[in-house]
Amino acid sequence: MNKENQEVMYRMKELAKTLNQASKAYYQDASEIMSNFEYDKLYDELVELEKKTGITLSNSPTQKVGYEVLSELPKEAHATRMLSLDKTKEVTELQEWLGAKEGVLSWKLDGLTIVLTYTQGKLAKAVTRGNGEVGEVITNNAKVFCNIPLEIPYMGELVLRGEAVITYSEFERINEEILDAEAKYKNPRNLCSGSVRQLNNKITAQRNVHFFAFSLVSCQGEVIPDFKNSREQQMLWLEEQGFDVVERKKVNRDNIAEIVTWFNQQIEKNDFPSDGLVLILDDIAYGQSLGTTSKFPRDSIAFKWQDETAETKLLEIEWSASRTGLINPVAIFEPVELEGTTVSRASLHNISIMEGMELGIGDTITIYKANMIIPQIAENLTRSGNIKYPSNCPVCNEKTIIKQENDVKVLMCDNPQCSAKQIKSFVHFMSRDAMNMEGLSEATIEKMVGRGFIRSLADLFHLDRYREEIISMEGFGERSFEKMLASIEKARKVNLPQFIYSLGIANVGLSNAKLICKAYHNDLDAIMKADYDTLVEIDRIGPVIAKAFQKFMQDEEKKKMIEDLRKEIEFQIDTEEVGEQSMESLQFVITGSVEQFANRKELKEHIEARGGKVTGSVTSKTNYLINNDNLSNSTKNKKAKELGISIITEQEFLNMFG
């Protein structure tokens, strides 16, 4: 083998190893070690080298579909192997691929593929895609998805495929209730994967998972529907059976470019995560006659968006310490315009990503938005690799350590007394939805902690002891100090749910705090003695929250902290909580701008305080959609009209419920 061929083989092995590591991290460990942009680029390079050499390595990701399933869920082999799709980023290639045939173009949803089997009109089985050959049985979980029909009119055996997804709005709601920045989910796909594969389907039910059918696999029985040899007709029939089917449009070679542009324009309005489009031949028989390659079906192809990129210069790496001890790198670069907005920073997630890109200050980098939303570094064009990791924590100055977690390198501060861990707790305690103390920024708190003015939460109520020192601090003066004191005094009177939320209990957001306080009749002593079995009986309080809550309340240091705070504050009864629960058992969705309330969040809290529930998506369980533009043709309005759900304005809502 000559030197050139040796180099090519080495590169192929290197690419296979790198791509397999990235796939394992993404699909199995729910973490990321490289961007989607970089993965696609390396994958395409490997495909070209395989074509050039005629050699395919046994561990090549071009010959694998997914990874081994690792869970305690039962495993089951699929009747037919589930293949991935070949892909392109060029509309002209879609036109050439389609030729004179008609096709169906739809969203390529970014979630978890599920195979459903119905027998005698009832849901009999749900299995995840897994590695394409063997999946996990998640039937109990599928039964609590938001929109899967448990019974359908068709009495034969029906097998179909679809995507389980979690909306961006639901993703944000769940992340809002997770205090620890590092514990927050990175994207809706990771959240969906974990939600669908839970061992306890009560948790799945709380996550509002949606299912969109995209393919009818088989249909057997005494009466077989006439699909007129059309994929589009199959999808229409699935809708008749009660399934939500992925949004789609019929296309041909002449109009496909225009339709791709239409889909592109919908991305900003779309609440469901997607990473491209899928084109399938409408002619079923012809498509099946084409067969498959070893990896791809020949009757369909994926289209991935041409990411808009911008070139800029890396100015610095900001190291941000968190309450968990993780110190995260954030890239700061010269501002650039992308997808209509100005961006100047992008999370790098961990050291592994930095090392893979060989980042250095002053490097020329390209930026893109993952799925056209989240800023990411696409490439480092100069690769100087001159960045050094801080040897000391940026907050407490203690030594940092590098740890390996699931094959990913992370930088950590191992000092349990690190002020950063306390500062984040102080900032949360003072936040608007908690104690609502104004005039104290995170930077100011950091200075006060550093000077020893604040060592515990209760110390916040005694900052008047340090009047002269605080007034002399940079950015502070007499007026600022008085305003801060007034805000602190006002915070001494607080509702119990806000106080519980302010304590920073893992996974306990304000809405959960309200549920717990209501269940224990606003009795703090009883709440502090809350046990796991009683907590899990509360609607929307799952095992994870119950365990975290009980553990917090049983901790001696936490008990002392609460008792110290009780000496400083006075609990007031929220008249909304003791008033008539006029919205008990009602479910609302809020969309568009509001006028009578400060924002949609305030309206949501108003509803929840009166016993109602607010969700992010319109379903058959929704009672009212609140939209001041109730005549618009928005997706939510259309859905509400289809389901016969009342669309009311904000004023109509107030007239009805007060």
| Residues labelled catalytic | 108
Given the structure tokens 């169906």, which residue do they identify?
A: 104
Beta strands in 266-340 (DSSP E): 274-281, 300-303, 310-321, 326-338
Residue 53 identity: T
Quote the distance between the C-alpha of residue 502 and its chain's center: 24
CA distance to 67, 72, 125, 139, 196, per residue, from 128 (Å): 12, 13, 10, 10, 9
In the sheet with 248-251, reading across from the earlier edge strand, the strands are 87-88, 300-303, 274-281, 103-109, 248-251
- Which residues lie closer than 8 Å to 401 by C-beta, 6 or more apart? 411, 412, 414
Gap between the Cα atoms of 83 and 152, Å rounded: 28
Which of 406, 399, 411, 446 minimizes the C-alpha distance to 318? 411
Quote the distance between the C-alpha of residue 267 and its chain's center: 16
Residue 111 identity: G
State the CB neighbour count (10 A cutoff) for residue 631.
Answer: 8
Gap between the Cα atoms of 294 and 279, Å rounded: 19
Q: Please state at what angle helix 510-519 crosses helix 600-609, rounded to 10 degrees.
A: 10
Backbone torsion region of residue 113, taken as left when φ is above 0, otherwise alpha when ψ lies between -120 and 50, otherwise beta:
beta
Gap between the Cα atoms of 239 and 541, Å rounded: 34
CA distance to 116, 135, 200, 511, per residue, from 72 (Å): 20, 12, 12, 31
State the CB neighbour count (10 A cutoff) for residue 281.
Answer: 23
Gap between the Cα atoms of 321 and 319, Å rounded: 7
**3-class DSSP state of 378:** strand
φ, ψ for residue 513, nearest 5 deg: -60, -40
Strands 103-109 and 248-251, sheet pairing: antiparallel
DSSP string, 385-397: ------SB-TTT-
Gap between the Cα atoms of 116 and 337, Å rounded: 43
